[in-house]
Amino acid sequence: MALTVERAGFVYGRGTAYSSRALDGISLTVSPGEVVLVLGATGSGKSTLLRLAAGLAPPSEGRVLVDGVDTAGPDASRLRGRVGLVFQRPEAQLFAETVAEDLAFGPRNLGRSERDARADADEALEAVGLDPEAFGRRSPFTLSGGEARRVAIAGVLAMRPAYLLLDEPTAGLDARGRAAVLGVVAEAKRRGGVAVVTHDAEELLPLADTVLVLEGGSPVFVGPAAELLARPAPLEAAGLAVPPVLDVQVRAVEAGARLPMLTLDPALAAEILAASVRRAR
């Protein structure tokens, strides 16, 4: 059981004058209970990879399998609802008069009964930390940015996908909204496999199990998150910033400091760095 991308490539506008390659030779596995982080700069192919993983577009080369079923094969229709994709700025897609109506739309379209669809909607709202009683009746257009983002993610969760794919889920949110969405990612991990695409390593790296770093459509790093934390050079190679707290520690090591570990946690980093300075004196 896993969502696997096997040596996949993708070319936009193949065979036309505008033909451009977005992905080349990407392999990736998302297992249930795992968060896979896909990092890359603007135009690195991150969003295209999610589209392939969600079966929205067939890969130009290689293949994408969901629990063993090829998304471009004859059995692809069996996969309906198995993979949920949350687009960038998903709140732009909220449309119904009430939040409850909006959330029931997906499960209803998957052929679930009215009662099941409502139950799925309520349950999804709880999963994103919003009270179904209080929020179900609200108009989606009266929500704050963070609330609207969570409702939009709940709309995908309501379809009970085995794999949840999120494209820049924290972009444009304030501190509270970002913290809430990070909580949703942690909750989604308990329900299935999660893949998150972002150019912000700082917030999501602590939640990730596996990381794929893309540069110009090709992988420059695939491996455990802990490995990237210990040696963050691939982030720079991909045109991404090394998170500043990590950067301080990397530079300290380069200057000769001996640190037992590298961490993204500012408080822990302060403790480690202060102790290292004391030892040096």
Would you tell me which residues interact with another protein (CB under 8 A)? 12, 18, 40-43, 47, 88-89, 92, 144-146, 168, 171-178, 199-200, 202, 239-241, 243-245, 247-248, 251-252, 255, 264, 266-267, 269-271, 273-274, 277, 280
Name which of 54, 62, 35 is nearest 217 in CA terms.
Answer: 62
CB nearer to another protein: pick between 154 and 162: 154
Burial grade of 255 (CB within 10 A; 0-12, 13-18, 19 or more): exposed
CB of 257 to another protein, least distance (A): 8
For residues 93 and 109, which CB has a smaller minimum distance to another protein in the complex? 93
Closest distance to another protein from the beta carbon of 277 (Å): 5
Tokens of residue 265, six digits:
């946690």
The pair of three-digit structure tokens given for residue 181, joined into one six-digit string: 């969405």
- Closer CB to another protein, 122 or 168, in the complex: 168
How does strand 61-66 pair with strand 3-12? antiparallel
Tell me the CA distances in angstroms from 75 to 20, 27, 60, 80, one per residue in order.
Answer: 29, 22, 19, 10
Nearest-approach distance from CB 57 to another protein, in angstroms: 14
Q: How far is the CB of 273 from another protein (least distance, A)?
A: 6
Identity of the residue, 16 or 77, whose beta carbon is nearer to another protein in the bound complex: 16
Given the complex with another protein, which of 171 and 207 has the nearer CB atom?
A: 171
30 contacts 194 by C-beta, under 8 angstroms:
yes
Q: Which residue is associated with the tokens 């994103």? A: 128
Q: Which is nearer to another protein, 33 or 266 (CB)?
A: 266
Angle between helices 175-191 and 145-157 (to 10 degrees): 10
Smallest gap from residue 40 Cβ to another protein (A): 8
Least distance from C-beta 254 to another protein, angstroms? Answer: 10
User: Which tokens hold the place of 137?
Assistant: 């009746």
